[in-house]
Amino acid sequence: MEGSLRDVLPEKELVGFYEQMVLCREFEESCAEQYAKGEITGFLHLYSGQEAVAVGCTAGLETNDYILSAYRDHAQALVRGVEAKKIMAELFGRATGICKGKGGSMHLFSPEKRFMGGYAIVGGQFPIAVGLAWASHLKNEDSITACFFGDGSMNQGTFHESLNWARLWDLPLLFVCENNFYGIGTEVHRASAQAALHRRTCGYDIPSEKVDGMDVIAMYEATKRAAAWVRERQRPYFIEAVTYRFRGHSMADPARYRSSSEQEVWKSRDPIPNLGRRLVEEGIATQEHLDEIHQRCGAKVEEAVSFASQSPWPEDNQVWEDIYV
């Protein structure tokens, strides 16, 4: 973005964006370490590199808005306000986890925070997002639903069906595509006849825009504007956030399909040091302050790991609980 950061938000909130992104990065890197140690098992999809999308978008929403995600959901739960220790305990499969150790990495859920789940089925969140937005419409709630998803899910039938119903019924639904260019290891242009993904909404008469997903301020401004539009008009809107994941699709993916030069280009656009640099240049924070943030976030993640490792496993009889709600 051009101009001063102070023109966008107060200094405290700008530094808060930085701290949230650092916490997400520290959390994800710790998850990778715990996975290597065998403390976290199963599939693990990390968010490193995409932090500006979760932080900027969540800040642009209201606390009574619903949020849904795919299986790369740790950061979105964190910035929505779920405690790091409860998320880590869930990844460890412990009873103190946000879902009592029954959901794991891909199924975080916190109705208290209106974080309505991560979903392991590709595109599984689309029809649920439509249902939540439909409920808000029927109840005349002043809330919208923000549905996050990856570029690879846009070829699913549920995507097209959900866009159609959202526009046909005029629902307060904000679609946010996190386009990191790869559906596992397949590049967008190899799987989509229209690689400019935001243009695919024209068949449903849904307005859309493309946003720099490596810029937390750009994501905040775009989401704030789009959310207000959705809330006022009670109609769907679509954002394509162009971003990049620094790790493979999951911990089982060495990402050999990406060149080192490509990765270096995108790492130079890392949203954390780039925002930090601007905060220092504009006199909003000192480097010492930023270093303290890193230390504080690191300590919070270490505390989360300690909490998770010392937490009890679920009792056997709990397998019969929470089957129906």
pLDDT of res. 2? 66
- pLDDT band for 290, please (50, 70, 90 cuts): very high
pTM summary value: 0.95
| pLDDT tops 70 at residue 1 | no
Q: State both tokens at 255.
A: 């990402």
Say yes or no to pLDDT of 223 above 90.
yes
Integer Cα distance of 231 and 65 in angstroms: 10
pLDDT at res. 120: 95
Q: What is the pLDDT of residues 192-201, one digit of tens each?
A: 999 999 999 9
What average pLDDT does the segment 193-221 reach?
A: 96
Residue type present at position 153: S
Q: Which residues of 125-135 are buried (b: 16+ CB within 10 A; e: fewer)?
A: bbebbbebbbe
Q: What is the pLDDT of residue 93?
A: 97
pLDDT of 285 strictly over 70: yes
User: Is 234 exposed, middle or buried (CB count within 10 Å of its CB: 0-12, 13-18, 19+)?
Assistant: middle
Q: What domains can you pick out in the chain, each with its CATH number?
A: 5-312 (3.40.50.970)
Supply φ then ψ for residue 322, to 5 degrees: 65, 25
Q: Are 238 and 208 in contact (CB under 8 A)?
A: yes
Specify the DSSP class assigned to residue 149.
Answer: E
Predicted confidence (pLDDT) per residue in 20-67, tens digit = 999 999 999 999 999 999 999 999 999 999 999 999 999 999 999 999
User: What's the confidence (pLDDT) of residue 3?
Assistant: 82
98-148 residue pLDDT tens = 999 999 999 999 999 999 999 999 999 999 999 999 999 999 999 999 999
Question: Could you tell me what percent of the chain has a pLDDT over 90?
Answer: 96
Residue 324 pLDDT grade (very low, low, confident, very high; cuts 50, 70, 90): confident
Please check the confidence at residue 323 and state whether its pLDDT lies above 90. Answer: no
